[in-house]
Amino acid sequence: MGVQGTQPMSIPVLCLFADTGGGHRSAALAVTDALKAEYPGVFAPLLYDPLSAPRSPHLLRNVAGLYGPIVRLAPWSWGAVYHASDSQHAAALLRRTWLRLVDGPVAEVIASLQPAVVLSFHPLTTAAAVRAVRRHTVGTPVVTVVTDLVTTHAAWHYGFVERIVVPSAAVRQRFETDGIAPQRCHSFGLPVGSAFSAAPLTCRQQQELRLRLGVRPGRFLVVLAGGAEGSGPIARNADAVTRAFDDVEVVAICGRNRRLEARLRALCSPRLTVKGFVHNMADWYRTADVVVTKAGPQTIAEATCCGACLLITSHLPGQERGNTELVVRAGAGAHTPKTADVVDWIARLKDDPNVLQAMRHSALSLSKPQAARQVASLVASLVAPDETRTQVGPHGTL
């Protein structure tokens, strides 16, 4: 069924996500890892993608598979779909029609696993989860974990859940405006993995890490990123920065965008390192002087936990709209929509360490590194009510 991470004799917790971008999976993995770390042997967190599972309807899998190409090649079309469906009426219509395709895969896994709690990390899986638990379980709570930082689609605002974990005050305010009781909303932040929530590196540790990563120490390091899909003007910025500076090292992380990766490798610059999809983004964020990226919510959440200075080049129309303003307002970075802006800001930050350090400090102030642990604690509290809460303590058993 595409379920990952089962453990016998433990309390099952189902985490629903979809690989439309990498943020939903990353947040779900962060929470499952926190459950295992905080409550060893107690919970069996299970990951399931009902949009792309082998037994899901072909139409559902095909539509989900279009997300990556669309946001890379025609982001304007994604924006059109997003805004056309961003109303409570449109979202309700989708739940009654096309999104019914999600019901079967979700109902199957819930009926089979009988989870104690269901966590939904994607707006298209929440309603299916609620319908499935009503049919196949007794009293199983469904929790929505919102993975967009500021701007949320109407599909997220489905009130028939036990609790809602929100990443920011702006999102919480919108849920409360929609009539969600404040006590049902938890402002934990966007969950990130433990690798991103470790203490900042000293200068010596940073140089040692650069050596392990194969980057020459002593140079100003710029990391270009575009999320799991490798979106945004990465190629244009990589070319411009390597041409503008002789003393700057550039690392471009292309994610699943193989076309971009091939294009950058063809540049053959000795100061440009090209990577595909990597599993050690925390290392790159920690070792970078500057991270140049689009305004992906998971990228911002993870990079700020690492104290990275951010230059935001672009945003995906729709859910990423408010993220740039969030970063700039916090002083954690700058908006650089043009390649010339990127070059100018790199020159400024390279020549003024005080400005760079102030932005790094602001990034850490914006971060919420404990979000995954707080979600894990919420799960434990839902499994064990307050009067028996002490039976499921961190590092304990039920």
Which residues of the chain fall below pLDDT 50? 1-3, 5-8, 386-398
The answer to the question of residue 396 being in a domain is no
Give the phi and the psi of residue 14 in degrees, each rounded to 5: -95, 125
Residues 14, 110 contacting (CB under 8 angstroms)? yes
Give the phi and the psi of residue 13 in degrees, each rounded to 5: -125, 120
Residues 73 and 209 in one domain: no
Residues 361 and 374 in one domain: no
User: Which residues are 220's β-sheet partners?
Assistant: 248
Residues 40, 27 contacting (CB under 8 angstroms)? no
Residues 126 and 137 in one domain: yes
- At residue 45, the 3 state secondary structure works out as strand
Q: Dihedral, CA atoms, 33, 37, 42, 45, nearest 10 degrees?
A: 0
CA angle centred on 231, ends 188 and 289, rounded to 5°: 70
Instruction: Provide the domain limits for residue 56.
Output: 11-192+369-391
Structure tokens at 222: 């710029």
> Alpha helices of 288-385 — where are they, by DSSP H?
297-305, 323-330, 339-351, 353-366, 371-383
The answer to the question of residue 1 being in a domain is no
Residues 296 and 319 in one domain: yes
Distances (CA, A) of 75 to 127, 320, 334, 335: 26, 12, 22, 19
Q: Are strands 220-225 and 185-187 parallel, antiparallel or unpaired?
A: unpaired
Q: Give the integer Cα–Cα distance in Å for 130 and 315.
A: 31
Number of independent structural domains in the chain: 2
Nearest Cα neighbor of 332 from 306, 309, 303 is 309
Residues 211 and 233 in one domain: yes
Residues 117 and 23 in one domain: yes
Nearest Cα neighbor of 203 from 301, 306, 310, 286 is 286
Phi-psi region of 166 (alpha: psi -120 to 50; beta: other; left: phi over 0): beta
Residues 374 and 361 in one domain: no
Task: Count CA atoms within 13 Å of residue 295 on its CB side.
Answer: 27
The answer to the question of residue 235 being in a domain is yes
Q: Give the integer Cα–Cα distance in Å for 397 and 222.
A: 45
Residues 51 and 163 in one domain: yes
Single-letter amino acid code for the residue at 68:
G
Q: Give pTM, 2 decimals.
A: 0.89
Sign of CA dihedral 228, 70, 222, 188: negative
Q: Give the integer Cα–Cα distance in Å for 149 and 83.
A: 17
**Whole-angstrom Cα Rg for the chain:** 21
pLDDT, residue 43, reads 95
CATH number at residue 296: 3.40.50.2000
The answer to the question of residue 28 being in a domain is yes
Residues 140 and 27 in one domain: yes
DSSP letter assigned to residue 101: G
Q: What is the DSSP secondary-structure string of 273-303?
A: EEE-S-S-HHHHHHH-SEEEE---HHHHHHH
Residues 204 and 260 in one domain: yes
Residues 362 and 374 in one domain: no
The answer to the question of residue 6 being in a domain is no
End-to-end CA distance of the chain: 28
The answer to the question of residue 241 being in a domain is yes
Single-letter amino acid code for the residue at 333:
G
Q: Give the integer Cα–Cα distance in Å for 10 and 35.
A: 12
The answer to the question of residue 2 being in a domain is no
Q: Dihedral, CA atoms, 86, 88, 94, 97, nearest 10 degrees?
A: -160
Q: Of all helices (H) and strands (E), which one includes residue 253?
A: strand 248-253
The answer to the question of residue 167 being in a domain is yes
Neighbours of 54 (CB within 10 A): 8
pLDDT, residue 396, reads 38
Sign of CA dihedral 264, 270, 276, 280: negative
Q: Give the integer Cα–Cα distance in Å for 123 and 125.
A: 6
Using CB atoms within 10 Å of the CB of residue 263, give its burial: 0 to 12 exposed, 13 to 18 middle, 19+ buried: middle
Residues 145 and 227 in one domain: no
